[in-house]
Structure 1
Amino acid sequence: MRYLPVRLGVILAAAVSVVLAAVGPANAESASAPAPHKTTKAAPARHTPRHFKPTSCNAPVKRQRKKKAERPSVSCHAMVGATTDDRAIADTDGPADGALGPADIKAAYDLPDGGAGATVAVVDAYGDTHAEADLAVFRAHYGLPPCTTANGCFRKVDQNGGTSYPADEEGWITETSLDLDAVSAACPKCNILLVQGDDEMVDSLGAAVDTAVRLGAKYVSNSYGVSGEFPGESGLGGRLYVIGGLVAGSNATVPAVHRYDPARDRWTELADYPVPVAGAACVGLGGQIVCAGGQTNGTGIKSTYLYHPDTDTWIKGADMPYNNWGMTYSGADGRLQVAAGISGAGDVATNQAAEYDPATDTWSALPNANDASYNAAGGSDCGLYHIGGGVYDGGIAPTRWAETLPGYDHCGDGFHLSWAKLSIDALDLAPGRSATVTVTISSAGFAQPGTITGALAFRTDTPYTVPTVPITVQADPPKGWGKLAGTVTDASTGKPIAGATVQLCAGYDTETGDCGGATSTLKTDTDGRYQTWLDQANNTLQVIAAKDTYQQQLRIIEIRAGATTTLDFQLQP
């Protein structure tokens, strides 16, 4: 049996501290997480790691496959101890020097006893032939009760619940052993169900998770991730950008920016962020990185900056309406959305939300989140989600909140426009040669008339950045459509209400109160205005205007084809 030279405590915290601090701009919580005490029970190590390096599964998949047949993949977050010549340490007689044991983890995170009878599922990719035997060595070394197939504590299945196990893969074996050891450390009395996905593809691991729940697991460990899912991690052109962060053990922020190219397995130092920052909202939009907010040395900021990869420069954008850090954020619909986080002069959680449009360099209000928290999950190019996070009440208290903003919950491929079709989607281009790509536009893909914009992006296997080609289309409304527009104001002051929600129920039946058509949700801009185009066939319409702290209003109207119907609301506080 070989002890894997990993620092259990460090990797156990990888889902929070390693990912947030090393993969993206760290937030304040990553610097103030409890520091595990060093164990005194570990046997002396034959080798001392000089640094830690990613395992082979801690990188995007590099298999050759046709682009049209590609399936989204994940990577693990495991790191292994390495010597000064960058070789992984193996064949040690015990844990590496400084490794943390179960007692350290329990003490650091104040974990309770218990868990007897509960089942924790560990979902990982590929096989691990010696998983049970390796787990037995770990548990025996630290004096934990045996967890075996014979005593009913341990069970291993494939992604379908059977015994057709996938082939072993060295990197994922490391991740699997790490996950099994971590579960054992956190809950020694829990039963463990190991579910092995066929490969590192999202659909395979998703099937494995379904199997874990079907087989009775109440808790499922998914120790892997995809690009763009964590705060501060920004993807652009198939590369990862790490922006700012915290100095270990302090609130001091840094401006450093680095880019990782998985195709070349290489890190590149880029132009510094204009100010030292951590906890900012950063997304890749239209061939550039857009960042907003964050905190500098413990003080929230509201700056917006745009990074242009072709010139390696940062450009100042319009400031946010308020200072904000530790927020949840998204890059949906070609814009940056932020919600909740910390704002104001002190460490006060907010439920405010806003949106930045890089095309116009303007901010507008969004409907407030239902709950105020910070460091919540939610980064996506498929919608604005606000999941979990923490609140401060004499200490950091985790939450179980989950919500999504209507109108921003539609998922789509960030590299695909439903209204545009390419004559070719891949080609080899020799030096000095050119190629023609024809873009065919279909108006059937437009949800609304008006000016529609997009971009033709290029992914290459070269070290050079290829600028995007903008696409602009003017779409006229069909003959049977009419426009609904209006303003939402405060009835007592007459001032516009930004971020008010306007909900439409099409085909409304005045007798039954049912919607015969689709429903949609709009929001007002900074001037309290809203507008949309609808088919006259959707008459009659029920329209509801609402905003927190105001009384909502309901109206029943009809629109006329080729005309603008104005519907204003004056909400009472």
Structure 2
Amino acid sequence: MKTPIVAVLSVIGLAVLAGTAAAAPLTGKPVGASASQPLTANTPAACNTKPKKGFAQCLAVVRTPAPGQIRPQAAAPPAGALGPADIQAAYRLPAGGGGQTVAIVDAYGDSHAEDDLAAFRSHYGLTPCTTANGCFRRVDQTGGTDYPVDDPGWGLETSLDLDAVSAACPACNILLVEGNSPSLDDLGNAVDTAVSLGAKYVSNSYGVAGEDPSETDYDGHYDHKGVAVVASSGDDGGVANWPSTNPHVVSVGGTLLTRDGSVARGWTESAWGTSSGGEGGGSGCSPYEPRPDYQTGIDTDCPTGRATADIAADADPESGLATYDTLGQSGWLQVGGTSLAAPLVTAMYALAGEPLSNEYPVTELYHDPALADHVFDIVAGANSGCGNVLCQAGPGWDGPTGLGSPNGVGAFTKAPHGTLDGRVTDTAGQPLAGATVSASPGDYIARTAADGSYRLDLRAGSYDVTVAKYGYASATGTGLTISAGDTSTRDFALTAQPSATLSGTVTDGSGHGWPLHARIGISGYPDGAVYTDPATGRYHVSLPQGDYTLDISTDLPGYQHQTQQISVGPQGLGRDITLGVDLAACIAPGYGWNGTGEDFTGWQAATPRDGWAVTGTKGGWRFDNPGNRSAPQTPPVYQSGGDDNFAIADSGTAGRLDTTLTSPVFDLSGVATPRLEFDTHYFAAAQQSATVELSVDRGRSWTPVWRQTGANSIGHVSVALPSAAGRSGVRVRFHYTGRGGWYWAVDDVLIGARTCVAQHGGLVVGVVSDGTTHAPVNGTRVTSSADPRRHAWPAGIAQVTGDPAVAGGYYWLFTPSGKQQLTATATGYDPAGTALDVAANGITRHDVVLTRHGS
């Protein structure tokens, strides 16, 4: 019979200080031994810094007298450091573990590991754990003795891991597996080696903070049934950390463990970290790892992703473990981080005994019917300020501390199990794939295979089993008894629910009334969102009769999404939906302020556009900001450079100026209370003036409406123009005179009313494809020769959508109605031009086929 091995995996790498801008970088070298001194700061170990892509960092943090000052004590541990007796008392750990071997996976080599471990155990009166007596074994990542080069930073991580295992399980054997580097390849191979050498408990005190899409390529290294693969949740507060987000891994968060004689336990615990974020036990929703079935029964605030942590233990450096290290240091340190929590929990798994061979130990945590007796529920503290269960400790599961911290090892102890299997069909006997089979208590979940079969491994006991599939009435079997070592069988037949059709159209509801390409989310519907036809706005879907919530949105910018409650009866339901424009922002295509605006975007040098004119001193008003002046903004921003899309008359670059910027004619016949609005930077000086004049007769006569001379004017200007109400020949002009280096800058001019209204025109939509391959050509730019003047809606950009029927190459473009010339351009293709008759207030469908250069 093989001796079970507990593997502790530790990785060694480079690190820099985090959290203090003035701190000096760490080198992993000892700063010098010192006598006992107050420890008030936290300093990451030299391997605990953000790594390059494809590599991991360690998660050890040292308690220090000041940031960056790692000062070991030669004679004894720091006064506040915890020792083995503290850990065993705080978590009520039993004696035992003899014959179990805990494996640690670390990066790089540590030739001092065995000697440093001996010093730690000797100080605390623990029995020796050496190569000679078979308690300690050190191997490379292939299981041999070709050890990697020593690394001081990862050497401290290795010492912490070895000492943590010794503190929680003094009788356990220890296997140290050293990866060649902190690369995900080397670390993953080291994990596999630990398991191949018989490890049943593997500790991984490293990770990738924030995760990376490539992580799933390495997930297989951590997929070992019957092995407690344990990983730190991270040291970055509310940030998820891989591999702890792997659904097959036990993710260990961090706590602050404090002596407290006023409570029966003798200790209190809270989440490590602060609501301001930064340092603290990691937690969050994985963007790449799916939500596992064992988390279905709890509210993690992660609808589709794996949530961490699962359980927690001491990690705050303020309550750190006494650690002895001489590879990069010169004695005793007080060390925390979730690098401490992971090997503590791994050793507790070893105390609990060998896991079931066909189970992932992480699932048993969530299925424990006596969990309340087996964990201390951590309800205080936070690791960041997200404001929900993912970062705030509270009753039951939470992100920073998972289900709680261990109260003994009952949560890790294997229980007698049996098996429930069977088959799920419809009433005609046809198999139903993808049905959910759940057993309670314990929230066990399985899903049926293509032949309708399922299997649940359950603790011995009595269960209620419920089978559910969308479109079918659920079925429940109560009081099913599962006996240890036995297999029980239960088949289920589900009755299809009557269905009906939900259909309708989604259209604009703010003036144009055109169809919208919309996404309709339907509560409980398993096949994803339903999309409308982009040219007609129509949709239809078959649903079981019942009540639903619809969530409707469109990919056109500036529209508000909408939620509706509906009931689908035997006759189906026709539901037309209108989406309104956000009238405050007024950025939806085809909408603008009730008047005419100008933001000077795209204007060059001294050349006006859009019917504007510059007169007076040559080189007067310019649109390229030659003096690198601050852009006029609301609220004011005083800085050089940045946005150069504004008009400026600058005597600092042009000398003496007398120059006028005059608008084209505006039709305000539909505006009852017009105003002139603009942003300004005017800096007063002697013999300088800025004047705005108004004409209501197309420029034959002018009246001053705003003037500035001896005082600065910086910010937003709004001037009522009552004489322009209802007039069709309105113009304005900006007249600047000055010398001596000052200037007047103007931006975001609006003449009319700041009321959002529909503009004259229509939408063009379509798909751009390659004429040879017929594949969509994303990134194609579609423009109209008659783009609406002074309204900066973007050109149509062909892109991917979430709609399976319009997978790629989809574009939309607002343009004035009537006959227009459209041009499509894309890198590597000949431009494609088309004359198109655009419908007013409607959708015109126009697909584009591009030809590659030289074809």
Q: TM-score range by the shorter chain?
A: 0.3 to 0.5
Q: Which has the larger radius of gyration?
A: 2
Q: Please, what TM-score do these two structures have when normalized by structure 1?
A: 0.40
The normalised TM-score by structure 2 is 0.28
More strand by share: 2
